[in-house]
Amino acid sequence: MQPTSTICACATAPGGALGIIRVSGPDAIAITDLLFSAHNGRPLAQTPAGRVVYGVLHQAGDSNDVIDDVLVSLFRAPHSYTGDDTTEISCHGSPYIIQTILQALCSKGCRLAEPGEYTRRAFMAGKMDLTQAEAVASLIAARHAAAHRVALNQLRGAVTTEMHTLREQMLHLNTLLELELDFSDHEDLEFASRDDLRQLAQQACERIAHLASTFRIGQAIKRGVPVALIGETNAGKSTILNALVGEERAIVSDIHGTTRDTIECTAVIADITCRFIDTAGLRHTTDTIERIGQDRARQRAAQADLIVWVIDATAAYHAATLIPEISSLCHEGATLIAVINKTDLLTDAPTTDAPAQTPAQRPAEVSPQSASDAPTTTPDHLVATLSPHLPAGTPILAISAHSAEGIDHLREVLASHLPHPTDEAVIITEARHHDSLVHAHDALQRMLQALDAGLPADLVSEDLRDAIHHLSSVTGEITTDATLQRIFSGFCIGK
């Protein structure tokens, strides 16, 4: 649908040295010409497309009242971002200058653009499909290399190609089924072999299931991987958090129960944003507020992709008794990392382990140990003692949070368990895509059941058409105004 209005908006963030104002629509060039005087004396209407023209922009109706020296880039339909005639005015970044230019443009017939309206027009003009339009917003919001890589891959059509391939296969199958319906008088006529149908539907079903399964990784890359720091009080969780993020975000104290609520902050590790969550220490307590904090700690840990269990090396003899509780917090797909902290307080000598105590038997508070009565054991001994009680493959490392070497070791272990997409990988990052894939998978499963039951072609075709519909909704070949409004309302004004 061809837009009838001409829109304008600032496409750059406020406060910069330069600002870029986009004007797009059927009258974009004519309106800009009313305010712009090129130094070469040639109107924009007579200037070839793809040129950048230097001149001055003045107030509407007064060529002597100069607003700013500007550069105007000229794009003619359909060779522009929106597919419409477009000018981009590059001016100084003063908020006053930008606002004055926008007001002058509106006085000559423009209107201010709505959020995402430029990209929505690009979608309506067929310049990109809906997955690519959504990738524009993801690319702008990308804060690390992995998110940038995934968004760029989607913008270049990786998801589109997958959806089109699957859709074309299903359309071919549906065409054969529809032919059978056209010749329904001939009961023996079968254009589509049921075995071939079943095989192709099963392959498509498996591929769709795989794509849907990447959504968890996609969300982690896009929004940040949640990493929960859990453990008993005074194990050093807050010290580790501060060291990982490089600033004092959590209060560190020898007093047990200092952290009573969750503290969340982010840091980039191996090109992936991690959302570190420091939690209240786990211990027996009658303090109501502290117990609420512990409940929140368990809730956040149960939602994390990585769970870092911090263990006090000076009291590690009873750590194994906590394993059932720690394991219960790890949902399917979560990774547990055991970190024995405070190894700097150990003395390198043979040891005899103290008897294990249950959480109920352990005292509510334990006084900090001095260097003179530090336990006589070694980090390697503690790792070897704890390892048999943990699930196979659980990383265990012994560090001191006060050591840069120890924190670097923890970063390396965390990095090895973070998702690292390749340029070729197709990863689903949008909830809308995931929902459509799940619905398409369900429809194909119903189709397979119909084939197994020997149901007629019209019933098999109905489920197949349903799967096609949901795949088409991913790329926007089938969509609604409500869906478009929901997607583009989250964009910035100038995009």
* Domains defined along the chain, listed by start: 7-113 (3.30.1360.120), 137-214+426-488 (1.20.120.430), 223-416 (3.40.50.300)
Q: Is 80 exceeded by the pLDDT of residue 438? A: yes
Select from 321, 298, 303 the least CA-distant residue to 311.
321
Average pLDDT over residues 67-86: 96
Average pLDDT over residues 150-177: 88
The pLDDT value given to residue 101:
96
The pLDDT value given to residue 366:
40
Distance CA 247, CA 267 (A): 10
pLDDT digits (tens, 9 = 90+) for 381-404: 888 888 888 888 889 999 988 888
Share of the chain above pLDDT 90, in %: 40
Residue type at 70?
V
Average pLDDT of the chain, as a whole number: 82
The pLDDT value given to residue 380:
85
Average pLDDT over residues 305-321: 83
Average pLDDT over residues 143-171: 89
Reported confidence tier of residue 330, pLDDT bands at 50, 70, 90: confident
Nearest 5°: the CA angle 143, 147, 153 is 135
Q: Is the peptide bond before 78 cis (omega within 30 degrees of 0)?
A: yes
Residue 397, beta-bridge partner list: 339
Reported confidence tier of residue 36, pLDDT bands at 50, 70, 90: very high
The pLDDT value given to residue 301:
66
| pTM for the whole structure | 0.75
Q: Is 70 exceeded by the pLDDT of residue 488? A: yes
Distance CA 301, CA 123 (A): 40
**Distance of CA 314 to CAs 130, 241, 370, 410, Å?**
56, 20, 10, 19
Query: Which range (194-198, 288-292, 328-332) has the least confidence?
Result: 288-292
In this structure, how many other beta carbons lie within 10 angstroms of the beta carbon of residue 330?
19
Share of the chain above pLDDT 70, in %: 82
Query: Residue 144 phi/psi, 5° resolution?
Result: -150, 170
